[in-house]
Structure 1
Amino acid sequence: MSPVDGGGGQTDAVTAMFDEVTVLFVTNFDDIKSNLAASLPNVNTTFAATPAEAYAAFDETTAVVCLFDNLLDEAFEQFRTDVLVRHPFCQFLVIESQPLANELVNDYDVILNAPVSGPQLRAVLRRRIIYATYSMTLQEYYHLNARVAALHRLQDSEPRTPSYIATRLQALRPQLQALQATLTEAQLREIASAVEQHKQYVNQPTKQPTESSQSKYYPGTCPACGVVWGDDHKNELGQGFESLGAGVWKCTHCNEIVHDLHDSNQSITKW
């Protein structure tokens, strides 16, 4: 068993980090809430049974969201998208009442089939808390170092690092080293895979145009891939297209160049 799963070698530094994170359970089974909280004695736990409650309960400390599939619907899928757009390292776990009971159970970091034992749930949640914490710590550490490098390039005299950045880097460095010491190569690959999966999930384009996406100035959808144009996708796709000039657009999803406004004369070229 690796340290991240509760085996030997778990450091006090990593254990202390658990006090600073929260696990959000999305369930309407009131009778199991105490058991869920007891499964993570050193971690803050919050509960929600509706999308509104989930939005209210989620904050910067939330590392893992654990949902029960009986509540999973389109509103909670939108909640997952909104969370991952702003907090791409948050881990999502779903507990299925039975396999394939809910068609929305897809692309989750972990899918568990009920019944789930306390030790099993505890091990999975511990692992995912460390995955989320490691990713967030690593991102902040590299962002701060990049900021320091940029500041140093702008300084004419001897480079100086602002004290608040130096202090934060000094605090992050041992945390990052402690987290890395708990992770195997396979687990590091799993973290990288989760990050990529989250990116792909939030960048899934909608292909159902709304009334606002219809325009006499550009097509409502890309003729090549069908992604909606004119709607804010709330991710890297933006409005779905970029204008390159009069009657010429580039799709931000498939990179096709579309010419001319009229459907009968539209032509497509590869960027």
Structure 2
Amino acid sequence: MRDALTMLRRDLRHNRRNPSTMFGALIAPILMLLMFVYIFGGATTLGTSAYLAYVVPGILVLCIGYSVGQTAVAVATDMNEGIINRFRTMGISRAAVLTGRVLGTVLRTLLCVLLILLLTLAMGYRPHATLTGWLTVTGVVALSAFAAAWLTTAMGLSVRTVVAASYAALPITLLPILSSAFAPTQHMSAGVRAFTEHQPYTPIIESLREALNGAPAGSHLWWALGWTAAMAIAGYLWSRARFTRPPTPR
């Protein structure tokens, strides 16, 4: 735990010295929010304010995707600069090197999501979440960021260049767009609907939507917890396997 906290402080210092990391995680979700609400929202039968309430959960999850996408780049940078190989030779917990990076990603993601949520409030969004609902929102966001961060960490460890890492994380970044984030799945064609209803981010978004609207938690929450657990376990095992392999020239 002490080694993990040391690595967490290292990651937080990198974020403080490189504010473009935070900017990169915010700019795309903000642009998507403004575009969908003020351009497409007025063209829907819901109207701008009602459509804003619909898209907010999807924008929050989109923010998670862009935030954890930076992790793959950061890990690949560490691998190319040789610091990971240096950590392997030091008397520290190997798990702490990756755990500190993942925890830093979760904290950065929570801050980004909070800023996006404050922006939506300034735009007129008024959630109806209870205390339990807000706790659910916080927990789902944190777990989703934790799971996605392990996957992008594994991606950063698996590629040879920083550029490749940025492309490797694209599925995590773009998958929320191919979900119920911006349109109900029942209005989609059969093939697209089948995909969106059975991918990880749709139940995550729907569980956030239920919590923010003050609705009782349904089956979406359990599916969201199951998907995040599966993603976290797969990402952790993949990351550990890549990290414990003998270093190879890059």
TM-score using structure 2 length: 0.29
TM-score using structure 1 length: 0.27
Greater gyration radius: 1
Higher helix share: 2
Q: Which of structures 1 and 2 has the larger relative contact order (alpha carbons within 8 angstroms, sep 6+)? A: 2
